[in-house]
Structures are given as C-alpha cells and as structure tokens.
Amino acid sequence: MTDLLDRLRLAVGDHHVLTEAADMAAHLVDWTGVHEGRALAVVRPGSTGEVAEVVRACHETRTPVVPQGGNTGLVGGGVPDASGEAVVLSLGRMRTVRDVDPVAGTITVDAGVVLADVQSAASDAGRLFPMSLGSEGSCTIGGNLATNAGGTAVLRYGMTRELVLGLEVVLPDGRVWDGLRGLRKDNTGYDLTQLFVGSEGTLGVITGAVLRLFPATPRHATAWVAVPSVAAAVALLAVAQARGGAHLTTFEIANRQAIDLVLDHLPGATDPLAAPSDLYVLLELAGTETDDSLDDTLEAVLSEAVEGGLASDAAIAGSPAQRSALWALREGISEVQKVEGATLKHDVTLPIARLADWAEAMGPQLAEVLAGVRLVTYGHVGDGNLHYNLNAPLRDGRSDDESLRLAAAELTSAIYASVAATDGSISAEHGLGRTKAAAAASYKSEVEVDLMRAVKQALDPEGLMNPGVLLPPA
Ligand code: FAD
Ligand code: MLT
Ligand code: ZN
C-alpha cells in the first residue's frame, strides 16, 4: 500500500493525500451521522488529469474508490465502509467555472463547484440555474448529478437529469470520456450522459458538466398557506397549476410538527400566521422582469382556495426579507430535525392522486409500531414527493432516541411496503447509497436488477467504484 500512497502523492502532491485520522475525519462520516467508515487515504486531486491518475493507480492495485463532493448526501453513498481499504476521492479542489454562454444557454463547470456558486455564475451572466436545495451552500454539482438531486424547483424545471447536456467522466480504469459537447440535439446512440446521472459514483467519477441555463426570474410572488389536509393541498396544487401556469415554480408542504421544530430551534424563526394549522404549503410563482401579473395571480389562487375551503389563512411575502423568512421555515426543517434528536428519514414518491389517502393511513399504522413517534412530514408535494421523516417520541420532555432506534427497521418496513403497494418509490430524490441499496433491490423486478448489474459489470467489472452503494453485493 505504501506504493499506492507514493503514486497518489506523486499524482496530486503530498499535501493533498490525507492519511492522518484528524485530517480525514470530516470525510469519513456522512451528514446524518449514521454512516461512518474508514479509509486508506483521502485524496484531493486538482484537475481531471489528476483524477484520472488517482483512479488508474487504484484500478491497478484493485483499491476501491469512493467519490465525494460536498458530503451532504443523506443515504451514506459518499463515505467509505468500515474496511479501511478504500480511497476517498474528494472533488473539493475542482471548483472552476469553465465557461458561461448566455446565448447557447449553457454553463460548463468542474464537478466540485458548489451549487450556490453555479447559481451565482449564472446570475452574473443574467441567467438562471434553477436547481435549489437546502444544502446548496455546500453540495457540489458532481454530487447533484451523481444523485440526480431534486429540490424545490423541480415542478417547473425538472430533476438534475433534465438540466444537464453533457459530462466529462473518469472511467473506473482511468480513461477519460469527454462528453462536454453541450449540444441540445445529438441522436448518435445510447445516451451516456444520462447513464452517469444518478449512478452515485458507482460507474465513474464525474469531473465536469455542461448544464442548461434559463431566463432569469427576478420577480417572485410567495405565500405561506394554512391548509386543512393533504387532500386540500393536492387540490390547491391543481388551482395553482391552472392559474399560475408556467410561473408556478415551488409547491412545498410542511406539517405543524415540522414547523414547531423550526420555531423551537431556528434562531429568529417566527410563525407568519396568527392561528396554528396542521399543515402548510409554501407556494411560489416566479417570473422575468416583464412579468407584471404574478401578485394578481397569487391573489386569485388564494381567493379561490379560501372560497373552496382549501385554505384557512395565508401570509404573502411583501418584501425580499419576508420571502426569505418564509423560505427559512421550509429550508430549516432538515437541520432542526437533527438538532431535536434521532431522526429516521424516508424520501418517498407516490402517485399524486393517491398521496392524501396514503398519508392518512400511514400515521396510525406507525403509531401502532411506536407509540408517540413524531411524524415530521414535509417536502415537494408538487412532485408527489414526501419526506416522511420520523423523530423519536418525547419521554419526560426529552427525545427518546433509543426507542426510535429499536423500532427503526419495523417502521421503515411498514412505510416501504405501503409505498410499494401504492405504486410509489422508496427514493424520490436522495438516491439509494448504503441505506437503501438492499431495500430497493428487493422491490425491483429480477429483470430490472439484472439490467442494472449488467451495466455495472460492463463499466466496472472489478467492482471498484463505490462498492456497496446503489446495488447490494450479488
Ligand atoms: P456527496 O454527499 O459528496 O455524494 C453523494 C453521492 O454522489 C455519493 O454516492 C458520491 O459517491 C457521489 N458523488 C459525489 N460526487 C461525485 C462525482 N463527482 N462523481 C461521481 N460520483 C460522485 N437532495 C435532494 O435531492 N433534494 C433536496 O431538496 C435536498 N435537500 C437537502 C437539504 C439538506 C439540509 C441536506 C443536508 C441535504 C439535502 N439533499 C437534498 C441531499 C444532498 O444535498 C444531495 O444528495 C446532493 O446532491 C449531494 O451532493 P454532494 O456534493 O454533497 O454529494
Ligand atoms: C429537503 O427537501 O429538505 C431534504 O431533501 C429532506 C431531508 O433532509 O430529509
Ligand atoms: Zn427534498
């Protein structure tokens, strides 16, 4: 192994091969704190050529490679297992915006560029890169592509895979595929770009990407709406779609439990409405500089909703500061759940027409498994995607974390079985990582799992790229 470490040092420089426990620590545990592993080294290449050198050296020594971006993933896909055999390949030094072309509507970036920096570079050129996640200040575009991330603007702009035109990838044997043509039309065979999107580091290391840009949308009309039920929220979505048309960008849901945690733990958070409601919707319309009708459209949506019994009250943002305050209530939920105590995450999609019935049936079923379990339900209801997260019950005013840990497997099985029976998916946007690889395989058909294994075998026959992630061991 000394030979490998020497080769890695030669490839990227001594400073960028971390082997001391303290230096590696932040790279070995995931954001949730659930997955913690060990590694031979954490390597930080500074260019595509250096990534290729590192991967080639690992290939020749049969060393597993774990690609890592901002390490904000929620399913343990970006951290190594406990064997200590893998090299973590961090893209954190590859942060160059290579090109912005406002006319073609493209931006070309290194994979390690942080999402918020892609947004800023687009904005500096008078354009919009629409992907938006609570983790955008630290997740990287490579991680977004590798997980096919979603977020709060999917309703209008689609998942990450709809925002990418081309990729540059270092293959498991160290060869480089340059697919950075950025063409909008290219019907010359299998779509290799899309093969790597959502592959969670199991087929290669993404080192660069050409992404789509859109017209800037500096105008917003934003409301925080109290709704009586999930069924009412879904009916409100239909009203907002009909009246808002292409301007409807965000339609998020959060239950009272989630908002109570935000009010408890997020400094400066305040309830925008006088009376508490069981459920809220964050609704946003966005438009260009010349779109003058957003406020009127929002008023019309809310009037129709109140008249139809779909909403009991609403707060409309009257300034950018008020808009940020409403967004903070929604974006703060992941963080405050963690502060509150043990959390069990479920990132599910259901057919939207069946979402309300599913949610109504699920709560009582879980309470039977663990009395007092707290449902912290929120997410991208416009996409049929609920973060059906659970917090531990309160005992004597404290989070009883141990009870949630003991019941975790049973709670998760109940949710997954019900999602499968409702024709849903157990991962809407976070991917499978280490957390859900085995469960996902058990819900897929044999044909589907065989095809996925065949793809993996074709690109990574030695199984060195992120082993144990996305597909369980055969
Ligand atoms: P990492 O966590 O470093 O890695 C994630 C996976 O991608 C791993 O399997 C890793 O091996 C692989 N990978 C990373 N970089 C590369 C690369 N260059 N080449 C190949 N493989 C690579 N996700 C959503 O979809 N929607 C949300 O709304 C959302 N909100 C979040 C809010 C918070 C507060 C947090 C903490 C997370 C949230 N996430 C959300 C999850 C997470 O931010 C996304 O999955 C994100 O895309 C991960 O990016 P990353 O750079 O941190 O990747
Ligand atoms: C979000 O949308 O805030 C995250 O994807 C959900 C989570 O952290 O579970
Ligand atoms: Zn989400």
Question: 292, 318, 334: which is the final residue of a domain?
Answer: 334
Residue 199 near residue 151 (C-beta atoms within 8 A): no
Residues 200 and 122 in one domain: yes
Instruction: Looking at the structure, tell me whether residues 140 and 223 fall in a common domain.
Output: no
* Tally of CA atoms within 13 A in the half-sphere of 269 that contains its CB: 19
**From CA 469, how far away is CA 434, in angstroms rounded?**
5
Q: Which of these three, 55, 90, 125, is where a domain ends?
A: 90
- How remote is the CA of residue 329 from the centroid of ligand 3, in Å? 14
Percent of the chain exceeding pLDDT 90 equals 99
Q: Are strands 374-380 and 385-391 parallel, antiparallel or unpaired?
A: antiparallel
**The pLDDT of residue 474:** 83
438 in a domain, yes or no? no
Question: In the structure, what pLDDT confidence band is assigned to residue 119 with cuts at 50, 70 and 90?
Answer: very high
Contact 48, 170 (CB under 8 A): yes
80 and 135, same structural domain? no
Amino acid (1-letter code) at residue 64? P
Average pLDDT over residues 124-143: 98
197 and 225 part of one domain: no
Q: Helix, strand, coil proportions of the chain in percent (round to 5)?
A: 40, 20, 40
- Tell me the β-bridge partners of 127: 215
Q: How far is the CA of 81 from the centre of ligand 3 (A)?
A: 25
Which tokens in the block code for residue 454? 């065949």
Backbone φ, ψ for residue 422 (5° rounding): -105, 15
Closest CA to 300 of 231, 251, 240, 247: 240
Under 8 Å between Cβ of 381 and 355: yes
426 domain residue, yes or no: no
Q: What is the pLDDT of residues 185-198, one digit of tens each?
A: 999 999 999 999 99
Nearest-atom number in ligand 1 for the CA of 380 is 28
CA of 152 to the centre of ligand 3 (A): 7
Co-location of 225 and 316 in the same domain: yes
CATH number, residue 397: 3.30.70.2740
| CATH code of 47's domain | 3.30.43.10
Give the mean model confidence (pLDDT) for residues 304-321. Answer: 98
Contact 388, 362 (CB under 8 A): yes
pLDDT at 1 over 70: no
Position in ligand 2 atom list of the atom nearest CA 151: 2
- Is residue 334 within 6 Å of ligand 1 at its C-beta? yes
The answer, yes or no, to whether any atom of ligand 2 lies below 6 A from the CB of 472, is no
The predicted model scores a pTM of 0.98
Same domain, 201 and 226: no
Q: Is the C-alpha dihedral spanning 367, 372, 373, 378 positive or negative?
A: positive
> Number of folded domains in the chain?
4
Q: What is the pLDDT of residues 325-337, one digit of tens each?
A: 999 999 999 999 9
Residues 107 and 205 in one domain: yes
**Does 387 contact ligand 2 (Cβ within 6 A)?**
yes
Would residue 460 count as lying in a domain? no
Could you tell me which of 346, 374, 36, 71 has the C-alpha nearest to residue 201? 71
74 lines ligand 2 (CB under 6 A): yes
CATH number at residue 250: 3.30.70.2190
On the question of pLDDT at 42 being above 90, the answer is yes
Domain, as residue range, for 254? 219-334
- Same domain for 223 and 296: yes
Tell whether the model's pLDDT for residue 289 goes beyond 70.
Answer: yes
Judgement on whether residues 105 and 69 belong to the same structural domain of the protein? no
Last residue of a domain, one of 379, 394, 421: 421
Tell me if 441 is assigned to some domain. no
Domain CATH for 204: 3.30.465.10
Q: Are 466 and 200 in contact (CB under 8 A)?
A: yes
Answer yes or no: do 322 and 356 share one domain.
no
CA dihedral over 438, 439, 440, 441, signed as positive or negative? positive
Q: Is 436 a domain residue?
A: no
According to the model, what pLDDT value does residue 346 have?
Answer: 98
Q: pLDDT digit string (tens) for 145-177?
A: 999 999 999 999 999 999 999 999 999 999 999
Region 139-146 average pLDDT: 99
Q: Take atom 4 of ligand 1 and give the residue whose Cα is closest.
A: 78
For ligand 3, the distance from its centroid to the CA atom of residue 469, given in whole angstroms, is: 20
Distance of alpha carbon 63 from alpha carbon 9, whole angstroms: 15
Domain annotation covers residue 432: no
Ligand 1, pocket-test mutation among 28, 29, 72, most atoms within 8 A of CB: 72
Residue type present at position 303: S
R_g (Cα) of the chain, nearest Å: 23
Claim to verify: residue 137 and residue 207 sit in the same structural domain: yes
Looking from the CA of residue 379, the nearest atom of ligand 2 is 2
Among residues 246, 365, 235, which one has the least CA distance to residue 307? Answer: 235
Asked whether residue 443 is assigned to any structural domain, the reply reads no
Of the candidates 121, 50, 60, the one whose C-alpha atom is nearest the C-alpha of residue 90 is 50
| Strand-pair category, 385-391 with 394-395 | unpaired
Same domain for 137 and 223, yes or no, is no
Q: Is residue 8 part of a domain?
A: yes
Is residue 319's pLDDT more than 90?
Answer: yes
Give SS3 for 176. strand
| Amino acid of residue 306 | V
